[in-house]
Structure 1
Amino acid sequence: MFEDQLIESRKNKGEGKRSLVSLPLSLLIHAVVIGAAVVGTMWAIEDIPEPPIPVSFYAAPPPPPPPPPPPPKASAPKPKEQPKPQEVTAPVEIPQTLPQPAAVPEPETGVEGGVEGGVEGGVPGGVLGGVLGGTPGGVPGGVEGGVPGGEVEGPYRVGGKIAEPRKIVHVAPTYPEIARKARIEGVVILEIIVDKAGNVRDVRVLRGLGMGLTEAAVEAVRQWRYEPATLNGRPVEVYITVTINFRLQ
């Protein structure tokens, strides 16, 4: 009995020692396995998904339009028909004498109440008792170019029997200050009428300038005086063209 208990006690002691040795070993193995699993998890490399490749779809361009049809060929011009030559037939009988042309009456150059054969120095269309060298239809004592039955008035253009009147009073135009400061120069052309007394009756601007130069020229010319123009010894009105030069000294 006692031996049995001793053997069991020894057995129990041996089993206790084995359990004390196997427990730490088991824990160590578990720890190694768990650590390996954790480390393996940490070092595991996940597969990186490949980025999607963009794909673009393009529609094919429409086909080019068909070329326009060629223009129709110009038709060849029709050949012109040549005129048929006229057939000339000889007369059956050739006359021996040609007919004489009809006599043309001479135009009458005389006038009713005129003198047969005319008057020496007269003109066609004149009247009996008229003035030699006169104009048909004129008035005795009248002026060539005048109005029949009227008086010599004018105004006339200078020339021929009418000489340009002589200026006896001259007034120089005043240079406007605004034109002087602006350095404006030029020419003003005027057409004036000189009456029978030699005064400037009317002024018309043919070419003007700005800055008051035209007005200054007109004002000065209106003060000019002339010897009247004459025609057949009588004073008449005439047109005169006047040029005013504006120059800065």
Structure 2
Amino acid sequence: MRPKPTRALLSGAAAVVSLYLLAACGGTAASAPGGVGTSGASPQERSRIAPAKHGISRPIRISGRNPVYTQEALEAGIEGLMVVKCVIRTSGELTGCRVIKSLPYLDQEVLDATRTWRYTPVLFKGKPTAVDYVFNLRFRLPPRPPPQAVAPGPVP
């Protein structure tokens, strides 16, 4: 039985670490610096990849839910940075998401949340283009409520 998740405090949900265009601009996945993978891309998209340059619009999330803390992660006091890499397709759908840097008890919850995300397409030279995109997700535990004051009373 899966525990009921609790809301997470999440910041920096979409920072680019490496962005490579899967476009008709020459090059191959093997020639991309750092060996950037394109597992979520179609074979046609994988055949053409080029480094990102000026004239590229940044994707903006338009729908989807934020990941939430699982009960296990809350109880274990898990905080930190999780890194997930996906392909943002020309339709704005995310595919091929995989965890690059994990946090205990949160991997599946984050992957489930990314399946609901939709983005504006990335434009390169005015045309929608599929891109590899790296998301940095920072998890911070929610603040604990202050201890309740007990009114002094007679000592029995």
- CA drift at 1:182: 1.5
Structure 2 length-normalised TM: 0.57
User: 1:34-183 to 2 correspondence within 5 Å?
Assistant: 144-145=25-26, 153=45, 154=48, 157-183=51-77
Amino acid at match of 2:130: E
Indicate if the aligned counterparts of 1:189 and 1:241 stay in contact, CA closer than 8 A: yes
Amino acid at match of 1:175: Y
Indicate if the aligned counterparts of 2:82 and 2:103 stay in contact, CA closer than 8 A: yes
Q: Cα RMSD over matched residues?
A: 2.3
Q: Which has a greater percent of helix?
A: 1
Task: Determine the C-alpha separation between the residues in 2 that align with 1:160 and 1:219.
Answer: 32
Identify if the C-alpha distance between structure 1 residues 177 and 225 changes in structure 2 by more than 3 Å, giving closer, same or farther.
same
The yes-or-no answer on 1:216 pairing with 2:97 is no
Identify if the C-alpha distance between structure 1 residues 170 and 158 changes in structure 2 by more than 3 Å, giving closer, same or farther.
farther
CA deviations 1:172-220 (Å, max 9, x no partner) are 112110111111112110111000100001112110011x212211111
Q: Which ranges in structure 2 are unaligned for 5 or more consecutive residues?
A: 1-23, 29-43, 143-156
- Larger gyration radius, structure 1 or structure 2: 1
**More relative contact order in 1 or in 2 (CA 8 Å, sep 6+)?**
2
Q: Which ranges in structure 1 are unaligned for 5 or more consecutive residues?
A: 1-142
The yes-or-no answer on 1:238 pairing with 2:119 is no
Indicate if the aligned counterparts of 1:195 and 1:201 stay in contact, CA closer than 8 A: yes
Structure 1 length-normalised TM: 0.37
Task: Determine the C-alpha separation between the residues in 2 that align with 1:226 and 1:155.
Answer: 20
Identify if the C-alpha distance between structure 1 residues 221 and 206 changes in structure 2 by more than 3 Å, giving closer, same or farther.
same
Task: Determine the C-alpha separation between the residues in 1 that align with 2:132 and 2:83.
Answer: 13
Structure 1 residue aligned with 2:140 = 247
Indicate if the aligned counterparts of 2:25 and 2:49 stay in contact, CA closer than 8 A: no
Indicate if the aligned counterparts of 1:156 and 1:239 stay in contact, CA closer than 8 A: no
Indicate if the aligned counterparts of 2:25 and 2:50 stay in contact, CA closer than 8 A: no
SS of the residue corresponding to residue 134 of structure 2 reads strand
Amino acid at match of 1:167: R
Counterpart of 2:122 (choices 229, 232, 235) is 229
- CA drift at 1:146: 5.7
